[in-house]
A and B are shown apart, each in its own frame.
Chain A
Amino acid sequence: MKPEAVYFFGTCVVDLFFPEAGLAGIELLKREGVRVIFPRGQTCCAQPPFNCGHHAEARAVARVQIALFPRDLPVVVPSGSCAGMMRHHYPELFAGEPDEAAAIAFAGRVVELTQFLVNVLGVRLTDRGGPETVTWHSSCHGLREMGLEAEPKGLLAQLGNVRVAPLTRERECCGFGGTFSVRYPDISSAMVADKVADVVQSGASVVLSADAACLLNIGGALEKTGAAARPMHLAEFLWERTRER
């Protein structure tokens, strides 16, 4: 059932590096007649310290976020990874804490953006863009923690003028992995180099993902190697191709 309003949790990477993707996500929701609330105090889902084993720090930051989203409304997140953190790892992070129940209740309201667009809102898209070839990187946490696959692909399939050229290794990690990329830079670099080569061989002009962190990694490597393909968040791509001008 369509809620009258939703919360939007933008994520820190979108906030700082891909704000248009966040705004596009908000516009896609508003176009369906949903009121979007953006709590200004929001910062980060706290996945970086959580994954590194610094759970006290992660909890402190997560606690602040949870308090900003008090009403019983869906919390829509334009990132499979951050959504996975909040939905699946908050209960684990708060196990045995006095606010465990609040964390579990909050986690239950977290929804990834494309899953919300498809499964809750049932959006129908009209492609207004010219012919374009894109490729899809299925970000690991979106794919394996949130089961994100049919929804983004289904949305792309609604765009009549867009051809999706698949990657040879669509499901393989791009090598970001948060601090993994700086703890093991050589392995991470080898992984992203393979991903870039895969994007280039696909012939796509745009590499899409529903996770800005992967795009920061793949995009930075595309730019470093001078490849022509550019990174774009799926939300931004969908909005830009379907908005009425």
Chain B
Amino acid sequence: MSAETGSADFHASSSKALLDPSLRANFRRAMDGLMAKRAAQFPDPAEWEALRSLAASIRARTLAKLPELLDALETRCAANGIRVHWAETTDDANEIVLGILRARGATRLVKGKSMVSEEMHLNDFLEKNGVESLESDLGEYIIQLDGETPSHIIMPAIHKSRQQIARLFGEKIRGAEYTEDVDALTATARRVLRRKFFEAEAGVSGVNIAVAETGTLVLVENEGNGRMSTHVPPVHIALMGIEKVVEKLEDVAPILTVLTRSATGQPVSTYLNLISGPRGPGEKDGPGEVHLVILDNGRSRIFADQEVAATLRCIRCGACMNYCPVYTRVGGHAYEAVYPGPIGSILTPQTEGLAKRHDLPHASSLCHACVEVCPVKIPITQILVTLRKESAHASPEFLVKGAGGGRDRLEDLAWWGWRMAHVSPLLYKAMSLGLRVFGPLLKGGAGPLKAWTQARTMPRRAPRTLHDLASEKGLPDA
């Protein structure tokens, strides 16, 4: 991914994405559907406010005592027979997974959906090391077939039309006929995957919530592939970020309530898996071993910075992207990051650093649509502004990785000039007169004016300003 080589640039990739009308239509249609489904689940504003307040307070309480909860989780998991591994970096996490597989001579793996595994680029890593890693979530399976990354954290193949999927299956799956019938396409994937579940020597999954009090791993899904991946192979490896823990079992329901409704507009998911350990003596099924890999990958740094720590409240529902007017128009791939949309625009610059990704905090009109629908009340726009601030200036007080990395001397100069023109009523008047005299001469040839006039006419300063009119009307000055 180009984000790793430092060449990621939302400017170029978003402009390119806008040139693809079918991509834009696919996203618009899909996001309209997701918004309508979510809205139908929260018909009562008072109830919505109560539900999200509860979920937000649970997540905030969790983060307030994150280190001790992670210790408790490790202890409880160990008592349940789940082996816990700590990974500071994605490289560490990959090596841990590979180590587990090698120790058992496993070369075939099935995966449930996991965004942490996307952070790790686990499939690529395993394939380079001779392990077949097959995605079993239908959307993930589709994009894996096509060599792509997810364009949405909940609906990874949302950028593809039915016709595109039909063509892909026809080309890539042996024995599959071209059909646009969704049920037939699903049946084809199911036929392939069924066999793989039984051949797999290990299964990998993500974790939606880990309960410190009981050492329980909670996993929601709709296809049953998550249960198959965690249940059928002899080894189950669960991957989670450090922030996914909660304190008590009773914290789970309020989070799930807002998670599934916000994500897919479902009051409950089709499957809810509560994994509390490997197969016990006398039990008929379940894996013989369960491992939990807990990944940091920059999260500790976010946790330690009060200005941005609320980023870690995220429960990965994807509602912020569904409602984002920017995401809707350019799609997820344009962000050139694992997490697209508003949450990605605050998370990616923090994990990759502002020097690399100072483009993303500005990839928002600050319309607040994301804040309005966030079920855990992450102040996304406020964090975007904080990241803009820390990007534009270096200061010992700024703790975000790569702070000052987006500094632009020309922009500094422009804001200095702006300040001068607005702290002094006299200079403001001079600027106002200047606009009147010279404004009509501007043809919008370069820079911001060219950008503005691409879709709009040049604004014309009014013949008489409100200051002029106020004086004419004799309004009191104080």
By a beta-carbon cutoff of 8 Å, the part of chain A in contact with chain B is: 8, 10, 12, 14-20, 22-23, 26, 35-44, 46, 48-55, 57, 60-61, 64, 68, 92, 140-141, 144-145, 171-173, 175-193, 216-217, 220-221, 223-224
Contact = CB atoms under 8 A, between A and B. Distances in A.
Contact of A49 (B329, B386, B418, B454): B418
6 contacts: A19-B468, A22-B466, A38-B470, A144-B371, A182-B452, A220-B459
A144 B448 contact: no
Contact of A16 (B393, B458, B462): B462
B200 interface: no
Interface stretch (B173-181, B190-198, B216-224, B421-429): B421-429
Contacts of A54: 389, 392, 412, 415
Interface string B451-478: 1111111111110111111110101111
B18 interface: yes
Contacts of A50: 385
Nearest to B390: A53
B416 interface: yes
B369 interface: yes
Nearest to A16: B461
Interface stretch (B115-123, B136-144, B236-244, B358-366): B358-366
Given A57-B416, A178-B365, A224-B453, 16 more contacts: A15-B466, A19-B466, A23-B470, A37-B475, A53-B386, A53-B389, A54-B389, A92-B382, A141-B368, A173-B325, A175-B365, A177-B367, A185-B452, A186-B14, A192-B455, A224-B455
Contacts of A51: 366, 385, 388
Nearest to A144: B368
B15 interface: yes
A40 B418 contact: no
A217 B457 CA distance: 9
Contact of A175 (B325, B330, B423, B473): B325
A162 B447 CA distance: 41
A40 B388 contact: no
B203 to A, nearest CB: 40
Given A140-B367, A177-B366, A187-B14, A57 B415 contact: yes
A49 B475 contact: no
A53 B385 contact: yes
B319 to A, nearest CB: 15
A178 B473 CA distance: 31
B476 A180 contact: no
B435 interface: yes
Task: Report which residue of A40, A50, A68 has the largest number of chain B beta carbons within 10 angstroms of its beta carbon.
Answer: A40
Contact of B415 (A49, A64, A190): A49
B432 interface: yes
A76 B458 CA distance: 29
B311 interface: no
Contacts of A43: 421-423, 425, 428
B264 interface: no
B391 interface: yes
B417 to A, nearest CB: 10
Contacts of A60: 419, 423
B374 to A, nearest CB: 12
Contacts, number: 201
Interface in B331-364: 361-364
Contacts of A39: 477-478
B329 A223 contact: no
B11 interface: yes
A184 B455 CA distance: 12
Contacts of B468: 19
Given A19-B469, A22-B466, A192 B388 contact: no
Nearest to A64: B423
Task: Report which residue of A48, A49, A51, A53 has the largest number of chain B beta carbons within 10 angstroms of its beta carbon.
Answer: A53
Contact of B418 (A8, A23, A48): A48
B305 interface: no
B405 to A, nearest CB: 13
Contacts of B464: 19
B476 A188 contact: no
Contact of A177 (B365, B415, B457, B465): B365
A37 B474 CA distance: 10
B440 to A, nearest CB: 14
Task: Report which residue of B385, B387, B478 has the largest number of chain A beta carbons within 10 angstroms of its beta carbon.
Answer: B478
A152 to B, nearest CB: 18
B399 interface: no
A140 B323 CA distance: 13
B280 to A, nearest CB: 51
B475 A26 contact: yes
Nearest to A25: B466
A222 to B, nearest CB: 9
B23 interface: no
A55 B419 CA distance: 11
B155 interface: no
A50 to B, nearest CB: 7
